[in-house]
Homo-oligomer: A and B are copies of this chain.
């Protein structure tokens, strides 16, 4: 339910682009035209358009106009630039997601763990290993480190469903941003056991390590997400800054 005007316009334009109301490579109506269409100020309209730019949907050209450069992507892609849970991503692509908890435990962070998680030594956390299935096929093995003090009452059952749903809807935590690092790593025994039974000819995994912050500025989660390489696909749109000479 979009509250703000610019968000409503953004979604409307986005939907119009996706459904080819505006043709690929064609110019959108000018700002002035759209301002009249939506009966809003130029600033508000421009705010909506600028989000389409960062999404890689359109390209603005000073003096010329705004060109539609949206082309649908084929694969089941995770989208960078926003935080989506596995369930959300699956639903968006019309698939069924399920989760199996392999391990649910808690401990205090030691020195070695502190280095890669970013949690201080001694921090109490829930450590969870979860296997994510897409249509009955195991795709992702997650190692979650949840800050215990920020997530009271987390149980195996909640982790089995959606931890984020619990955080957002029960605890009313607002998840703000997530710093992610993507790497390729050698498979581990546990990867092999759960993810690569049938395909022995891959010896790597796509790994996304993320530190997630809530609206209090607290890093409440560190997760290492290990993806089956043959199904891994990450989509991103990058914008080149203008001033880059020398």
Enumerate chain A interface residues (CB-CB to B < 8 A). Answer: 1-3, 7, 25, 53-54, 56, 59, 61, 67, 69, 71, 73, 75, 77, 80-83, 88, 118, 168-169, 174-186, 201-206, 210, 213, 215-217, 219, 229-230, 232-245
Measured in the bound complex, the distance between the Cα atoms of B118 and A230 in whole Å is 22
- Listed by A's residue number, 8 A-B pairs whose Cβ atoms lie within 8 Å are A61-B216, A73-B181, A82-B239, A179-B237, A180-B237, A180-B238, A183-B234, A236-B236
Q: Contact at A56–B179, with CB atoms within 8 Å?
A: yes
Known contacts A67-B217, A82-B239, A217-B25; A244/B177 CB under 8 A? no
Measured in the bound complex, the distance between the Cα atoms of B1 and A61 in whole Å is 21
Measured in the bound complex, the distance between the Cα atoms of B201 and A202 in whole Å is 11
Measured in the bound complex, the distance between the Cα atoms of B118 and A184 in whole Å is 27
Measured in the bound complex, the distance between the Cα atoms of B83 and A236 in whole Å is 11
Question: With a CB–CB cut-off of 8 A, which chain B residues contact A230?
Answer: 184
Known contacts A1-B243, A7-B243; A233/B183 CB under 8 A? yes
Measured in the bound complex, the distance between the Cα atoms of B59 and A175 in whole Å is 11
Q: Contact at B176–A59, with CB atoms within 8 Å?
A: yes
Measured in the bound complex, the distance between the Cα atoms of B140 and A87 in whole Å is 34
Cβ-defined partner of A217 (8 Å) among B61, B77, B205 = B61
| Shortest distance from the beta carbon of A210 to any chain B beta carbon, whole Å | 8
- Among residues of B, the one whose C-beta sits closest to the C-beta of A201 is B203
Question: With a CB–CB cut-off of 8 A, which chain B residues contact A229?
Answer: 184-185, 204
| Shortest distance from the beta carbon of A83 to any chain B beta carbon, whole Å | 4
Centre residue among A1, A59, A77, A201 by max chain B CB count within 10 A = A59
Question: With a CB–CB cut-off of 8 A, which chain B residues contact A71?
Answer: 118
Question: With a CB–CB cut-off of 8 A, which chain B residues contact A177?
Answer: 53, 56, 59, 69, 237-240
Question: With a CB–CB cut-off of 8 A, which chain B residues contact A83?
Answer: 238-240
Measured in the bound complex, the distance between the Cα atoms of B118 and A241 in whole Å is 24
Question: With a CB–CB cut-off of 8 A, which chain B residues contact A2?
Answer: 243
- Among residues of B, the one whose C-beta sits closest to the C-beta of A53 is B177
